[in-house]
């Protein structure tokens, strides 16, 4: 055995089973995973063409249609993270030479532009300030200048800023000019209303690890009949074998399935369970839970003097971006929170790096105990750093926000009972 091989062997002998620490995940993703979903991941593996697995796939499609509020036949999870779902939308919709209008108001609008260009298309970029929504008026101006544009693409919930765009208004502009729409719902699905059929969205993708609270590595997508027809009538081959919907249709689109790829069976078991949890809670209840905990976290953060990046009317409840206090080492704060409190929060990206923190309240992580831990831990760290924070005021403000919402909900319930 060579010296190099002996060294590798010696190093491998030191390796033992991996046991990650128990973290409270309040960053931009992933979120914490419900124990029911973790249990589903550990179920026995079966073949990906097993009749029982095929039956489960049909249930998955039905559960995803509920989550997306759509009747689209082609609604399924792509085997890959949200980035693969994004690429699947663009590579199928965009042929070389096609013009695509892309709204960019953060990191992920930029990734859409990259996808357009790699598919051979031309991106017509509509710029908005980071922290602002995509402007429908600017989008319409772009269509007026480029009426031959085939697609409008935008991020519904921009993870890098916590800004939410008006998907319904944007889709209306696209339909007015005969264009398809591609929407990024990675951070919105399950946490805030996503109404695919009502809004008229043609292609949408999300990710399993955000408000769905499943393991990372799956991207729920949904395609309208209009989108599928566009793909079927393309005169050139889709520039990806793995993501070609013409081939995927034979795997996810029919009950008599033909082999396409080895599906990640246990991850799909987990997604099935997480979507079932969402259905049992009810979409409207899930949206309300995210809003309720957001308002409590907001009250606490503002009591500590934090200012939000995004205006309230455009703010995502599940992604709270606030400015870092002047003179504070933001990376050191995140390090202490992780090492001493097992609490993860997110940093800023791009031009916002070092300027903001991003507090995620997604899916199973969206609960009062996480809100209170976050406020207490953050207040403690900042106080120890000499920041003028009155320890306890943030927690009191959050409790008051919860109490106010509870009273409001009780009043509304009484009114409903009285009118029944």
β-pairing verdict for 218-223 and 319-323: unpaired
Rounded alpha-carbon distances, angstroms, from residue 332 to 96, 300, 329, 348: 46, 21, 5, 14
Q: Which ranges in the chain are annotated with CATH 3.40.640.10? A: 35-279
Rounded alpha-carbon distances, angstroms, from residue 344 to 110, 199, 239, 333: 25, 34, 38, 10
Cα–Cα distance measured from residue 121 to residue 151, given in angstroms and rounded to the nearest whole number: 10
Please say whether the beta carbons of 364 and 341 come within 8 A.
no
Q: Which ranges in the chain are annotated with CATH 3.90.1150.10? A: 283-411
Cα–Cα distance measured from residue 404 to residue 398, given in angstroms and rounded to the nearest whole number: 10
Q: How many CA atoms lie within 13 A of 52 on its CB side?
A: 6
Helices 136-145 and 167-176 sit at what angle, rounded to 10 degrees?
Answer: 20
In the block, tokens 């759509």 appear at: 70
Residue 330, SS3 per DSSP: helix
Instruction: For domain 35-279, say whether CATH 3.40.50.1970 is its number.
Output: no
Cα–Cα distance measured from residue 356 to residue 310, given in angstroms and rounded to the nearest whole number: 11
DSSP string, 280-301: HH-HHHHHHHHHHHHHHHHHHH
Count the helices and strands in the chain (H runs, E runs). 15, 13
Cα–Cα distance measured from residue 330 to residue 234, given in angstroms and rounded to the nearest whole number: 49
pLDDT (tens digit, 9 = 90+) per residue, 312-359? 999 999 999 999 999 999 999 999 999 999 999 999 999 999 999 999
pLDDT for 4 equals 67
Cα–Cα distance measured from residue 196 to residue 283, given in angstroms and rounded to the nearest whole number: 14
β-pairing verdict for 99-104 and 151-155: parallel
Cα–Cα distance measured from residue 150 to residue 227, given in angstroms and rounded to the nearest whole number: 11
Please say whether the beta carbons of 201 and 353 come within 8 A.
no
pLDDT (tens digit, 9 = 90+) per residue, 234-259? 999 999 999 999 888 777 766 566 67
**What pTM did the predictor assign?**
0.94
**CATH number assigned to the domain covering 283-411:** 3.90.1150.10
Residue 220, SS3 per DSSP: strand
Give, for all 420 residues of the chain, the pLDDT tens digit.
Answer: 567 676 776 777 788 999 999 999 999 999 999 999 999 999 999 988 888 988 999 999 999 999 999 999 999 999 999 999 999 999 999 999 999 999 999 999 999 999 999 999 999 999 999 999 999 999 999 999 999 999 999 999 999 999 999 999 999 999 999 999 999 999 999 999 999 999 999 999 999 999 999 999 999 999 999 999 999 999 999 999 999 998 887 777 665 666 778 889 999 999 999 999 999 999 999 999 999 999 999 999 999 999 999 999 999 999 999 999 999 999 999 999 999 999 999 999 999 999 999 999 999 999 999 999 999 999 999 999 999 888 789 999 999 999 999 998 888 888 888 887
Please say whether the beta carbons of 149 and 142 come within 8 A.
yes
Closest CA to 101 of 146, 133, 131: 146
Please say whether the beta carbons of 116 and 94 come within 8 A.
yes
Geometric angle at alpha carbon 312, from 379 and 101, rounded to 5°: 120
């Amino acid at each position: 055995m060579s010296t190099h091989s002996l060294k590798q062997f010696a190093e491998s002998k030191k390796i033992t089973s991996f046991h990650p620490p128990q973290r409270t995940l309040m960053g931009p993703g992933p979120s914490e995973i419900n124990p029911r979903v973790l249990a589903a991941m550990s179920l026995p593996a079966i073949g990906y063409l097993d009749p029982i697995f095929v039956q489960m796939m049909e249930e998955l499609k039905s559960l995803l249609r509920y989550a997306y509020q759509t009747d689209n036949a082609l609604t399924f999870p792509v085997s890959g993270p949200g980035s693969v779902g994004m690429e699947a939308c663009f590579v199928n919709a965009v042929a070389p030479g096609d013009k695509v209008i892309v709204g960019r108001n953060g990191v992920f609008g930029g990734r859409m532009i990259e996808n357009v260009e790699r598919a051979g298309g031309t991106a017509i970029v509509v710029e908005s300030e980071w922290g602002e929504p995509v402007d429908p008026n600017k989008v319409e101006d772009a269509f007026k200048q480029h009426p031959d544009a085939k697609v409008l693409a935008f991020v519904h919930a921009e993870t890098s800023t916590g800004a939410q765009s008006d998907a319904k208004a944007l889709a209306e502009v696209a339909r007015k000019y005969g264009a398809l729409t591609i929407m990024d719902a990675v951070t919105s699905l399950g946490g805030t209303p996503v109404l695919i059929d009502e809004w008229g969205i043609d292609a949408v993708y999300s990710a399993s690890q955000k408000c769905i609270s499943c393991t990372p590595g799956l991207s729920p997508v949904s395609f309208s009949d209009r989108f599928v027809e566009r793909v079927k009538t393309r005169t050139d081959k889709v520039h990806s074998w793995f993501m070609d919907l013409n081939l995927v249709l034979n795997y996810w689109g029919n009950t008599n399935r033909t082999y396409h790829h080895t599906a990640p069976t246990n991850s799909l078991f987990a997604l099935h369970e997480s979507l079932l949890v969402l259905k049992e809670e009810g979409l409207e209840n899930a949206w309300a839970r995210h809003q309720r905990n957001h308002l409590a976290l907001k009250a606490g953060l503002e009591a500590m003097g934090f200012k939000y990046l995004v205006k309230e009317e455009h703010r995502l409840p599940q992604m709270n971006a606030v400015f870092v206090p002047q003179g504070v080492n933001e990376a050191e704060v995140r390090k202490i929170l992780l090492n001493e409190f097992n609490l993860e929060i997110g940093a800023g990206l791009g031009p916002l790096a070092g300027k903001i923190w991003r507090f995620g309240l997604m899916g199973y992580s969206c609960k009062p105990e996480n809100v209170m831990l976050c406020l207490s831990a953050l207040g403690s760290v900042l106080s120890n750093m000499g920041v003028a924070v009155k320890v306890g005021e943030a927690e009191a403000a959050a409790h008051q926000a919860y109490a106010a919402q509870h009273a409001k909900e009780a009043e509304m319930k009484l009114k409903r009972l009285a009118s029944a």
